[in-house]
Amino acid sequence: MTPSSSNGLGLKKGAWSAHEDKLLKDYIEQYGEGKWHLIPRRTGLNRCRKSCRLRWLNYLRPNIKRGDFAEDEVDLMLRLHQILGNRWSLIAGRIPGRTANDVKNYWNTHIQPRSKQQKTELLQDAPVTSINPQPHTMSKTQNLSTSDKTQIVSNGGGNFISSSNEGGNNNFNVSSLSSNVLHDDKIKKYLDELFDDREMEIEGDIEWSFGESSAQAEALDVVDQEEENNGFFDFSLDEIMLNPMDSQQP
């Protein structure tokens, strides 16, 4: 990535100049976000649509917070990552003023190295005992409405989700969310399905929509409530650091 280099199509790459920033900012203030493919044509910017979009989202957009992450922001990030994994855009949508790129960069530079180091030390100290997850069954079409008797509980050692749909056979449970069982493909698949389901509008009172930032916040308020009621997040930062979901990454 050399500054002011260009690709085969003659599009400029590398760092943005103040003039380019102004062109992009002026355009979006006039026409709004979206229609990224029109921006180079209308502004004369010699940049691809992706580059324009990224520059706006990560740098030019108003209310973007700069500088170090505050302790509460890091805390929130860790908790959300515990639930969502590397879904940086969802995590960022929950941390005001921070972009997905910010969150991802912070995680990769500050948290990941530390957690890996701790994990290595842990492995040296004691052998890891693999915990087999409880068998679970779950339908992709399972109704996750509030009428379900869904319980999220913590037992101190590990964090458990359990649920029972009294009317049907859709019983499932996940044990030790924050433990090494996350290596297990079945559990990972389950979590993927779980969150995929939650991203859809679910029959009932909860509207899970991760499309817009405000909606994301609303969706995750449910998680906050469960935290308050059930102590789902009753674990310390150090515990989280020992059990990151970075194991999900290939």
Partner DNA sequence: AAAACCTCCAACCGCCAAGCG
Partner DNA sequence: TCGCTTGGCGGTTGGAGGTTT
Q: Which residues bind DNA (CB under 7 A)?
A: 1-3, 7, 12-16, 33-37, 47, 49-51, 53-55, 58-59, 86-90, 100-102, 104-106, 108-110, 249
| Distance in Å, CB of 12 to DNA, minimum | 7
| Distance in Å, CB of 106 to DNA, minimum | 6
Separation between Cα atoms, residue 83 and residue 91, nearest integer Å: 10
Separation between Cα atoms, residue 39 and residue 61, nearest integer Å: 15
| Distance in Å, CB of 102 to DNA, minimum | 6
- In single-letter form, the type of residue at position 185 comes to D
Residue 37 or 42: which CB sits closer to DNA?
A: 37
Residue 33 or 228: which CB sits closer to DNA?
A: 33
| Distance in Å, CB of 131 to DNA, minimum | 24
Give, as one character, the DSSP assignment of residue 36. Answer: T
Q: List residues bridging with 49 in a β-sheet.
A: none
The alpha carbon of residue 26 and the mean position of all alpha carbons in its chain are separated, in whole angstroms, by 31
- In single-letter form, the type of residue at position 192 comes to D
Residue 79 or 163: which CB sits closer to DNA?
A: 79
Please report how many Cα atoms fall inside a 13 Å half-sphere around the Cα of residue 107, on the Cβ side. Answer: 25
| Distance in Å, CB of 101 to DNA, minimum | 5
The alpha carbon of residue 77 and the mean position of all alpha carbons in its chain are separated, in whole angstroms, by 8
Close Cβ partners of 42 (under 8 Å, ≥ 6 residues apart)? 27, 31
Please report how many Cα atoms fall inside a 13 Å half-sphere around the Cα of residue 217, on the Cβ side. Answer: 7
Residue 31 or 157: which CB sits closer to DNA?
A: 31
Helix (H) or strand (E) holding 120: helix 112-125
Residue 101 or 134: which CB sits closer to DNA?
A: 101
- SS3 label, residue 160: strand
| Distance in Å, CB of 2 to DNA, minimum | 5
Separation between Cα atoms, residue 162 and residue 224, nearest integer Å: 17
Residue 148 or 182: which CB sits closer to DNA?
A: 182
Separation between Cα atoms, residue 103 and residue 68, nearest integer Å: 11
Residue 81 or 163: which CB sits closer to DNA?
A: 81
| Distance in Å, CB of 104 to DNA, minimum | 6
